[in-house]
Structure 1
């Protein structure tokens, strides 16, 4: 108290902050720690075979995790109302980056990464997800009394989602597009958009999907191949169905208790991208059904705690930020698990906090820091 008074007399910008929500913080840190352990195990073989270093994927991820946790701490201490001013500029930046990535070289048939000389790669879709949550929360918080009308409750959101979706489909990034559309729909629903507009959007979406299926072989061969390999992965076991088949082998061989941490056989160049999109299949093989349930429980608890924090947020803007970020994590986890179990077509989506990827991890932890800022309860 005496130090605080002394700082105040000298005019230093010192202020006392309420405590952040510890249960949410512990859930985030547990997921990060669990993810690093699993990444170290799942990536060791492919890193050794391809790069001659078993820690080639884990080492940079540890650095990104440390930087991300630092960013989370800083974000938790920043007044979240500042994002009212940053929402539109960040969306504009994400649109520029999503356009720029289309001129980058392809990797695995996609253009999703910007190459930053000396710094690695940047995935603009991660920034786009963040920006969409900010913009939607901003618009809804300012116009919540008029969300039932088309001009306020539908049109601006449709324009934003449409522009982002088109750019992401051009990469192509189907899973990212589905994820952003899902986040946007949840925020619109929570924000008060009329149910009739969702019904109309659903009908229009069904018609668009039907039309796309008819013309897909000529229009989107990438999506067509993913769809056919989903329906029958064993029709092309050495081609498009290879990933799914090897993933299912890994999950099935894990049984109830798993083969043991580090004991996966499928990670030895059988499952493609075990350090990224298919890390959950390696987790199931090594930790079994019990380990898979533990991961699902952690994500479920994160979602539940986040919704609880949103319900007690100081204002509508804070509540919408929390809902947007925790729904993003939960929905992305569900989509990833659905892909590796062949419940939905393989669309290439990472598992939050577990998959290798510096941009994703740092953005996620920054978003969790904003949730913690809202949990402090300051208006």
Structure 2
């Protein structure tokens, strides 16, 4: 037996008991919160009204500004002959669009600091405002408040004309993002994950179709359906009710007599150079002439021939045809790539959002721009029937541009709190 310090009676050294650090010790399990308690906790979370977060996503911001700058240049090139003939000033459209663009960029930067979580409270008020505007168009059609243009009623005139459908698109995005974030565990259910959403879409479709505005109805429905699918709704309901809806809409368009113009556009789409009867395909033909004239490298910026009153209103829905004529296939592909990069970055930022609401809100705004750009290019190239769809950042429309840039501000705010490395 030894008496040395630190040794036992058998001559072995005593090893002190290992104690793990406090942060590595197992923590007692907390009782699982019910969905109601989780929602209560979320409601108790307070967010600042304005927050800079970790900074906006620079690549996304750059893509927005580049598309806006190119859009302004092409708008001026496409519109100056039309403006000089009808308004005695080649700068009539570009001066107004540039002013709205500056105001839109300022608004975008301001909105990018507005914490998007507050749209939880604003979702239904925004939806109600959009519905009210659409009702005003129907009730006051043909009056000074809701003027008729080319036999359609799509505008409200309050000193400045704008289309309520632009507000309706954003309203669907906000409301669906709000509803999905509250029903994450119930989205597979028919009662909770399908019926309420289709009721909202059905209401907007019923209000937009009579304007008539088939293209806006299609865009709104596509945005809603995509958000539902991403949000977790069961695909089987889309196949069942989607088929019923397609058959119903086709029957209304073909046999009601109220949408004869839609059937004429389908006939014109099938053979634009030899349309049946008195179907007018002048715009489509001039668009295809412009695209064909552009070739690989184009005729040069500002050198388009079709914009000299051959292509009707080249500054609006068919501005991409002028882009193809002046910049050629190469220029058109560059612009398509820029749109693709914007959509990619918007999706990337959205899926890295810190909550479900931010993810769905960002995806909805990104999908809106992507759907509209794809459908516009398809119309211009006669891939789908001719319908009135503007090209984001390019087509003339001051209030629509401001609304678009404000939505980009919301997307940039989502990027401020996303788990994305800031550059």
Distance 1:281 1:62 in 2: 21
Q: Is 1:338 the equivalent of 2:378?
A: yes
Q: Match of 1:55?
A: 91
Distance 2:117 2:359 in 1: 12
The alpha-carbon distance between structure 1 residues 228 and 20, as it changes in their structure 2 partners (threshold 3 A), is same
- Superposed displacement of residue 361, structure 1: 0.7
Contact 1:236–1:242 under 8 Å retained in 2: no
Q: Is 1:308 the equivalent of 2:344?
A: no
Q: Deviation string for 1:248-281 (max 9, x for gaps)?
A: 0000000000000000000011111200000000
Unaligned runs of 5+ in 2: 1-48
Q: Match of 1:109?
A: 151
TM-score, length of structure 1 as denominator length: 0.93
Distance 1:16 1:71 in 2: 15
Contact 1:35–1:353 under 8 Å retained in 2: yes
- Superposed displacement of residue 14, structure 1: 9.2
After superposing the two structures, state which structure 1 stretch, 154-163 or 244-253, moved more: 154-163
Contact 1:247–1:271 under 8 Å retained in 2: yes
2:252 is aligned, of 212, 215, 219, to 212
After superposing the two structures, state which structure 1 stretch, 226-235 or 36-45, moved more: 226-235
Contact 2:52–2:113 under 8 Å retained in 1: no
Distance 2:253 2:206 in 1: 17
**Structure 2 counterparts to residues 9-20 of structure 1, below 5 A:** 17-20=53-56
1:318 is aligned, of 358, 366, 369, to 358
Q: Match of 2:306?
A: 266
Distance 1:57 1:342 in 2: 26
Q: Match of 1:292?
A: 332
Q: Match of 2:263?
A: 224
Match of 2:233, SS? coil
The alpha-carbon distance between structure 1 residues 303 and 16, as it changes in their structure 2 partners (threshold 3 A), is closer
- Superposed displacement of residue 205, structure 1: 2.5
Structure having the higher Rg: 2
Distance 1:214 1:108 in 2: 22
- Superposed displacement of residue 212, structure 1: 3.4
Distance 2:188 2:222 in 1: 19
- Superposed displacement of residue 213, structure 1: 5.2
Contact 2:168–2:204 under 8 Å retained in 1: yes
Distance 1:97 1:241 in 2: 32
Aligned residues: CA RMSD: 1.7
- Superposed displacement of residue 214, structure 1: 4.0
Match of 2:182, SS? helix
TM-score, length of structure 2 as denominator length: 0.83
- Superposed displacement of residue 207, structure 1: 1.9
The alpha-carbon distance between structure 1 residues 214 and 17, as it changes in their structure 2 partners (threshold 3 A), is closer
Contact 2:174–2:361 under 8 Å retained in 1: yes
Q: Deviation string for 1:101-122 (max 9, x for gaps)?
A: 23123212211111123xx201
Q: Match of 2:126?
A: 90
- Superposed displacement of residue 378, structure 1: 6.8
Distance 1:279 1:30 in 2: 17
Q: Match of 1:234?
A: 273
Distance 2:137 2:89 in 1: 29
After superposing the two structures, state which structure 1 stretch, 261-270 or 99-108, moved more: 99-108
**Structure 2 counterparts to residues 1-379 of structure 1, below 5 A:** 17-102=53-138, 103=141, 104-117=146-159, 120-212=160-252, 214-215=254-255, 218-236=257-275, 240-377=280-417
Contact 1:310–1:323 under 8 Å retained in 2: yes
Q: Deviation string for 1:303-349 (max 9, x for gaps)?
A: 11111111210111000011000110011000000111111111111
- Superposed displacement of residue 198, structure 1: 1.1
Contact 2:74–2:394 under 8 Å retained in 1: yes
Contact 1:168–1:176 under 8 Å retained in 2: yes
Distance 2:178 2:50 in 1: 28
Distance 2:85 2:370 in 1: 33
Q: Deviation string for 1:212-256 (max 9, x for gaps)?
A: 35415x231121222221122223599620010000000000000
Q: Match of 1:10?
A: none
The structure where helix makes up a greater share of residues is 1
